[in-house]
Structure 1
Amino acid sequence: MGVSALQAQTIYRSVGSDGKVTFSDHPPVVTPASKLKPAGNAVARQPAGSTLPFELRQVVAKYPVTLYTSSSCTPCDGGRSLLLERGVPFTEKTVTTAQDAAALQNLSGSTSLPFLTIGAQHVGGYSSTAWTQYLDAAGYPQHSKLPASYRSPVATAMTAPEPVANQSAPKNAATPVASPQVTAPTKPKVNHDNPAGIQF
């Protein structure tokens, strides 16, 4: 009688420099550009068309960076330059209207700029030392790892612009409101087989 030994087979997970994940039962050749790890239950999923390196995509997914600025703001320019030099992908929101200022007040408790969010962390004002510490703690690289083809998104307004009112209508003209249709309640028909009037 032969006893067969059951062995658990190791599955290796290899992540290439382009972020491509490969699973195999054979350990791949380890190069500096790839990582070798036993397969786990959690596998990060990223959009197929993403242009960021894998490690940077992971940080951006956990701690997205948003910079709130205004025009003619020298500290805002300094903060933007720091993020660009470090290669930190960020979204820029401009504060130009009273609605933008009110939204910034609700978000930060202040209307001073620049204002930075790194994940749930709020950083008011610009200090290269403080911003660097927060970015380091989040795991952003100290030197740019962005591909040469990467382009930062265009800055957008913090709040959506209000729709422009129709100029041809007089300002004091009342908009006609349709009156609701009112129907008189109908008296239920008496069913002699169901004197209580129970309906299903």
Structure 2
Amino acid sequence: MGLVAVPVMAQGVYRIVGPDGRVTYSDQPPPAHVNARPVGSATANTVASANAQLPFALRQVASRYPVTLYTSTDCAPCNSGRNLLNSRGIPYSEKTITTAQDSEALKRLSGETSLPFLTIGSQQIKGYSDAEWTQFLDAAGYPQQSVLPSQYRRPAPSPLVAVEAAQRAAPVTNRPQTPAEPVVPVAPPVLNPSGIRF
């Protein structure tokens, strides 16, 4: 039975943006004329490759209960939260909130725009509290002291809403400009749909 499931797990998932801007997901490749790309951004691939370097027990916890930290610049509590995660050796991805689209996506994700915002699996923690974050990380099974290998490199922070390069480069034409289509923020991928529940 396990051998039959392997090809299914190896299949890709495609994110398809229709002409009306509607986003759908499918495991079937779309026709060539449709705007689609495989799900799994460069950041997700970087996190996956970074997690491959982890000790087995830590890799298991990180795959079951991935940690994502949402921050902004000049945010003292964000720095405190980042320092706690780094001192404990928690592998995490960091999403930065710098644009209006990032703020809107954060509000849809958490219900508010206060930072820092931490997710451990599907558990959401708003604001920074050393005791609360420690309690949730302990309950998820993360080690209390760093066991990261010396060659481990954290993934670079990335914006919450990825702006496509094609959307950034406006075409130069002599025609009157039409209003740009709104950017549809994409929620961070859920690596573990079951998440952590307390």
**TM-score band, normalised by shorter chain:** 0.5 to 0.7
> Which residue is equivalent to 1:172?
176
Report the CA distance shift for 1:173/1:100 in structure 2 as closer, same or farther (over 3 A): closer
Counterpart AA for 1:156: S
Shift of 1:74: 0.5
> Which residue is equivalent to 1:122?
124
1:85 and 2:103 matched: no
What RMSD in Å do the two structures reach over aligned CA positions?
1.9
Shift of 1:170: 4.0
> Which residue is equivalent to 2:64?
62
Task: Find the structure with the greater CA-based Rg.
Answer: 1
Matches within 5 A, 1:95-114: 95-114=97-116
Q: How far apart are the structure 2 equivalents of 1:171 and 1:71?
A: 39
Structure 1 spans left out of the alignment, 5+ residues? 1-45, 175-200
Q: How far apart are the structure 2 equivalents of 1:91 and 1:144?
A: 16
Shift of 1:172: 2.0
TM-score for both structures, normalised by structure 1? 0.60
Greater relative contact order, per chain length (Cα 8 Å cut-off, separation 6+) = 2
Of Structure 1 and Structure 2, the greater helix share is in: 2
Shift of 1:119: 0.1
May I ask how many residue pairs the two structures share in their alignment? 128
Matches within 5 A, 1:141-160: 141-160=143-162
TM-score for both structures, normalised by structure 2? 0.61
The runs of at least 4 consecutive aligned structure 1 residues that moved more than 6 Å come to: none
> Which residue is equivalent to 2:142?
140
Deviations 1:94-120 (A, max 9, x none): 000000000000000000000000000
Identity %: 55
Shift of 1:79: 0.3
SS in 2 for 1:122: strand
Structure 2 spans left out of the alignment, 5+ residues? 1-47, 179-198
Q: How far apart are the structure 1 equivalents of 2:148 and 2:172?
A: 50
Shift of 1:77: 0.3
Counterpart AA for 1:169: T
